[in-house]
Amino acid sequence: METPKTVTNKANSFFSGYFNELAQEISDLTTAPVQCSLGNVALLRGVDDLAPLFSADRSVCYAEEDAKGLGGLHLVFDTPLSIALAGTLMMTSESVIQEKIASRDYDEESHEGFREVATQIISNLNRRLEENIAKGAHLFLDSVKHTYPDNMPPSLDGESTYLIGTVEITVAEFPAATAHWLLSRSLAAAILQEEIPGSPAEMTAAGGAATAAVEEEEEEEEEEEEEAFGATGQSLAPQVAGSIRQVMTETPFTLKEEERVARGISAITQDGYRYIGIERKGVLIRVLSQSDIHQVMGPFYNNGTPTPRDKALHALPIGKFNTQQKMIKVTSDGTINEAADLMQKHALYALPVVSNKGALRGFVPIHALLDYFRNAGKSS
């Protein structure tokens, strides 16, 4: 199908900047030089357009935008490229990587390594989504597969419109290979801030989605009002006695569960956060503290060249930690006494405060509670 010139120009500009930044991040992840060279950008629709991408076996990642219903992203990598990236990440010897590339031996180690690379790619794109799209647009890594020749993944819709960005990637001294970024029509339109032509069915569906988005925005505004005034209409501003917000002194900081452990380490050691909320689809699912992160870092962290164990550990999704944690929390319309009871009962040093929909709003640290009751005792 024909691609409008305005779409081509904006897509070229976006992908150029994105791939330049991504090349450096993948280089840091794999400790191997990585170069990305942008090739073609175009709109595709229909099996005839999409099928040639899967003429050989491919490594395919699918990430779904789960906050605003914008569709998703498919990453389609030539198998030799995914093997090279995974091998350098896992610190496999160059000769072994060369043998696996020659035989297209995509084994379990290659699969796990490619998953970590895909996680980094999605994390990078999420930062750009946050810059371009307001109110929480977010890609969630859904699946990583290895497809056989002439087999399209079921997550692709042959009747839908996609924006494709094709890039040639060179890893260290291994031969350059091709990868494709396939963005759903809605996701591409949101990122480029440009209308993307679609089929009649897609255009009709887009009208309904716009109506739903307005309704969702109205619901969010109502929730904010409820949090500000409480269910009874009584103000819960910080100056009102008993409001949880009087002791909610720790700044909230969250990471998506698929983001890397390395980002959590940076938040604690460089940005100064004491607690990190881990979220899934905008809902808090667990909390990591400074001590949790320090245990992950290990006693010799930052004392020299990272070991293979360090690299592998820091590349893991942060959501894989504290999975057995019992989530104790209080809502933002709660009271100080309620927080104190929970913290005493469960021996907590900090208590997360969430919205009515489960999003992190802040933390109540134990020292803030002690200060509150100490001052209350003095005034009485």
Amino acid at 148: Y
Give the tens place of pLDDT for each residue, 38-58. 999 999 998 999 999 999 999
pLDDT band at 236 (very low <50, low <70, confident <90, very high): very low
What residues pair up with 260 in beta bridges, in sequence order? 317
pLDDT of 228 strictly over 70 = no
- Taking the C-alpha atoms of 339, 345, 346 and 350 in order, what is their torsion angle to the nearest 10 degrees? 30
Domain edges within the chain = 5-198, 230-379
- Looking at per-residue pLDDT, the higher value among 2 and 130 belongs to 2
| Assigned superfamily of 230-379 | CBS-domain (3.10.580.10)
Give the tens place of pLDDT for each residue, 169-212. 999 999 999 999 999 999 999 889 899 998 877 777 655 554 44
Q: Which long-range contacts (CB under 8 A, 24 or more apart) does 193-199 make?
A: 193/10, 193/132, 194/6, 194/7, 194/10, 196/7, 196/43, 196/161, 196/163, 197/1, 197/4, 197/43, 197/161, 198/160, 198/161, 199/45, 199/159, 199/160, 199/161
| Assigned superfamily of 5-198 | CheC-like (3.40.1550.10)
Give the tens place of pLDDT for each residue, 254-299. 999 888 888 888 888 877 888 999 998 889 999 998 888 877 776 5
What lies within 8 Å, CB to CB, of 80 at 6+ separation is: 101, 104, 174, 175, 177
Give the tens place of pLDDT for each residue, 76-130. 999 999 999 999 988 889 999 999 999 999 998 898 888 888 888 887 887 777 7
- How many C-beta neighbours within 10 Å does residue 1 have? 12
pLDDT of 134 strictly over 50 = no
Burial of 210 (0-12, 13-18, 19+ CB in 10 A): exposed
Taking residues 335-357, report their average pLDDT: 90
pLDDT band at 13 (very low <50, low <70, confident <90, very high): very high
Mean pLDDT of the chain: 82
